[in-house]
Amino acid sequence: MRREDHAEIAALVQASADMLQRWLGARDHTVAAFERQLARFEQPTHEGFVVCLRDTGEIVGGVNINNIVRGSLRSGTLGYTAYASTTGRGYMTEGLGLVVRIAFDQLELHRLEANIQPDNTASLNLVRRLGFQREGYSAEFQLINGEWRDHERWAITATGTRACPMGRRDAAPTHRTGPRARR
């Protein structure tokens, strides 16, 4: 994610507000908020990516690896966002799969978690397609829109990526114009 992405991402967030608010709460898409997000990604505990189309560079989603722990744990927590104008086309499946591969191959992490609200079927289906396994249920996990929301905990490990179509080292993107992930 780069400073010059702000206007495009802000427009996508605004156009997707109805879809995103339910899962993420109200989003601040001001320049100041974007700068804070970029500053967070400069820390060793966070990585931020945009998922964009190869042919046009159009941004179709975002993926964050948060709470990165090194040492013997080598783990991180995923956050990701699809935008309303491009949902249902497989872009986030491919883009998140690419970030999983980057996390394991380049960042040398061993484990990634995703915490998902139980009624967010699109997100649950996304991690299932990538080979994540459900590990548990966290009651009142996150405060969203003034309400504590339960989440399911899903995870994948570097050794578990054999089941992840885009997580394999030999995998190639499936969309001719499909996504690539960039920082």
Tell me the residue range of the domain where 123 lies.
Answer: 3-182
Residue 128 CA to residue 86 CA, distance in Å, equals 20
Residue 157 CA to residue 180 CA, distance in Å, equals 22
Q: What is the CATH number of the domain that holds 59?
A: 3.40.630.30
Residue linked to tokens 């991180």: 76
pTM: 0.83
Residue 41 CA to residue 66 CA, distance in Å, equals 9
What pLDDT score was predicted for residue 177? Answer: 42
Closest CA to 41 of 64, 60, 73: 64
Please report, in tens digits, the pLDDT of each residue of the chain (183 residues total): 777 888 888 888 787 777 766 667 666 677 787 788 888 888 899 999 989 988 888 899 989 999 999 999 999 999 998 888 888 889 999 999 999 999 999 999 999 999 999 999 999 999 999 999 999 999 999 898 889 999 999 999 999 765 455 544 433 333 334 455 555
What pLDDT score was predicted for residue 172? Answer: 38
Residue 159 CB contacts under 8 Å (≥ 6 apart), including other chains: 110
What pLDDT score was predicted for residue 152? Answer: 97
Q: How many domains are there within the chain? A: 1
What pLDDT score was predicted for residue 170? Answer: 37
3-state secondary structure 96-137: HHHHHHHHHHCCCCCEEEEEECCCCHHHHHHHHHCCCEEEEE
Phi, psi (degrees; rounded to nearest 5) at 50: -110, 145
Q: What is the DSSP track for 131-179?
A: T-EEEEEEEEEEEETTEEEEEEEEEEEGGGGGG-TTTSTT---S-SS-E
